[in-house]
Amino acid sequence: MRLRYLALLPLLVLAACKPTAQELKIGVSAPTTGSISATGQSAKNAIALVQDEINAGGGVKVGDKQVKVRFIIEDDEDKPESAATVFQKLINQDKVLAIVGSYTSKCSNAGAPIAEAAGIPVVSPWSTNPNVTKGRKFIFRACFIDPFQGKVVAQFATGKLKAKTAAVVYDVASDYNKGIAEVFRDEFTKMGGKIVGFETYNTKDTDFSAQLTKIKGSNPDVLFLPNYFNEVPLQLQQARKLGLNAVVLGADGWDNPELVKLGGKVMDGAYFSNHYSPDVDAPVAKTFIAKYTTRFGIVPDAAAALTYDSANLILKAVATAGKADSKAIRDALAATTGFPGVTGSITYGGSGDPVKGAVVIKVENGKFVFDSAVNP
């Protein structure tokens, strides 16, 4: 009985060996499981959208023929060691031409050196830590960097909120959180403010009450929590339960619907800097938001919008290069000027970091509402 199925084996082998030269492979390293799997889900959605859009038109134009595009999504679990494995697998096993990813800066910092050494161009959608692209020729990003973001938040605190004193609680074990906390501290001090508390914790800590109680003693005007959306609501809840009533500020790591799902009312009245707001007017953005919302039934967050931009940046570079060659794609990427992204216009002026503006978003009744835009 069972032997009968053996007859199917040659078919399977044929299926596995179907010619792949006709398709162009691009890798994606995203945290589809783990503590920030919600961000990985946004990435998957945006990639599905890009893949269907490009293949509906026959694929990307390489030289004189159209080639279909296949994105290979691998899970890096938001762990640096997994990101390194994923990058290696995508490059050596899947032989991808380019990579979208990774998402958190600590993961990008683990994957980027591997891609750099292999000469595979990378566009990270969401990694804002400066070190990700620093000194590397093949690594690009679609987002602004933390020195700019930290300044935006400090300006907002001293300007609109007229804050004189600020306190920070951040994850010292994560590159992103640490980098932006330090920039904010320096910028806020430069603008005449005073940092009255600068406290740390470690990734996966869940009790922040000792740090927050200490900060409560110095009674700051604003509390800056440059941490990820899965932790911030718990930190803020604990702060409120300890009687710490400062206005709370955050950064782009907050941008996910989970923030208000987990935090509820406690998040109301908080502000954070972000890459884009679904309330923007640009036509590219409007089309993207409409398509995404219809297909997935949820408004795209910044990670989704930046993934969409990153993947399209690569596809455009392939078309410009005119050949399926990683080095040529890298050169075309580096020469990108005025790319009309959902999150704003992207130009690489000699580095992998685009010069882009930021927006400040306010949380109101569980919704993210556009507050103001800041340009560099």
Partner 1 sequence: MDTIIQQLFNAAQLGAVYALIALGYSMVYGIIRLINFAHGDIFMVGGFVGLLLTTRLGWLPFYLLMPLAMILTALAGVAVERVAYRRLRNAQRMSVVITTLGVGIFLENFVRLTVGPETRQIPARLPSAPVHWLQQNLGAFVTWDKLLIILISLALMAILWLVVNRTLIGTAMRAVADNKDVVPLMGVNLNLIITVTFAIGSALAAAGGIFYGQAYSIDPYMGIDLGWKAFIAAVIGGIGSIEGAVLGSFLLAGVEVITVAYLSSNLKNGIAFGLLILLLLVWPWGIMGKPTLKKV
Closest to partner 1 by CB, 169 or 302: 169
Phi, psi of 281 (to 5 degrees): -100, -20
Q: Is residue 126 within 8 Å of residue 338, measured between CB atoms? A: no
Closest to partner 1 by CB, 102 or 235: 235
Residues of span 119-178 touching partner 1 by CB under 8 A = 172
Closest to partner 1 by CB, 31 or 121: 31
* The amino acid at 100: V
**Distance of alpha carbon 348 from alpha carbon 358, whole angstroms:** 17
**Residue in 55, 66, 155, 213 binding partner 1, rule: CB under 8 A:** 213
Q: Strand 247-250 and strand 271-274: pairing?
A: parallel
Applying CB under 8 A, which part among 133-141, 193-201, 289-297, 325-333 lies near partner 1? 193-201
Closest among 194, 189, 197 to 168, alpha carbons compared: 197
Here the tokens at position 282 are 């640009």
Is 355 a residue that touches partner 1 (CB under 8 A)? no
**Distance of alpha carbon 121 from alpha carbon 142, whole angstroms:** 13
**Distance of alpha carbon 237 from alpha carbon 214, whole angstroms:** 16
Applying CB under 8 A, which part among 106-114, 134-142, 231-239, 270-278 lies near partner 1? 231-239
Closest to partner 1 by CB, 95 or 241: 241
Closest to partner 1 by CB, 42 or 230: 230
Applying CB under 8 A, which part among 91-99, 109-117, 194-202, 334-342 lies near partner 1? 194-202
**Residue in 108, 129, 133, 211 binding partner 1, rule: CB under 8 A:** 211
Closest to partner 1 by CB, 121 or 197: 197
End-to-end CA distance of the chain: 71
**Residue in 62, 161, 196, 234 binding partner 1, rule: CB under 8 A:** 234
Applying CB under 8 A, which part among 79-87, 120-128, 137-145, 212-220 lies near partner 1? 212-220
* Three-state SS at 69: strand
Is 180 a residue that touches partner 1 (CB under 8 A)? no
Size of site (CB under 8 A) for partner 1:
29
Here the tokens at position 75 are 């899970």
Is 204 a residue that touches partner 1 (CB under 8 A)? yes
Residues of span 4-63 touching partner 1 by CB under 8 A = 33-35, 37-38
**Residue in 158, 238, 273, 310 binding partner 1, rule: CB under 8 A:** 238
Contacts of 67 (CB under 8 A, 6+ apart): 22, 23, 24, 59, 60, 61, 324
Applying CB under 8 A, which part among 3-11, 204-212, 321-329, 339-347 lies near partner 1? 204-212
* The amino acid at 246: A
Please give the full DSSP string across 325-339, using - where no structure is assigned.
-HHHHHHHHHT--SE
CA 337-306-57 angle, to 5 degrees, is 75
CB of 189 to partner 1, least distance (A): 19
Is 282 a residue that touches partner 1 (CB under 8 A)? no
Closest to partner 1 by CB, 256 or 307: 256
**Residue in 61, 89, 214, 291 binding partner 1, rule: CB under 8 A:** 214
Phi, psi of 340 (to 5 degrees): -80, 90
Here the tokens at position 303 are 């990670």
CB of 33 to partner 1, least distance (A): 6
**Distance of alpha carbon 47 from alpha carbon 43, whole angstroms:** 6
**Distance of alpha carbon 303 from alpha carbon 213, whole angstroms:** 33
Rule CB under 8 A: which residues touch partner 1?
Answer: 33-35, 37-38, 172, 199-202, 204, 206-207, 209-211, 213-214, 216-217, 230-231, 234, 238, 241-243, 258, 262
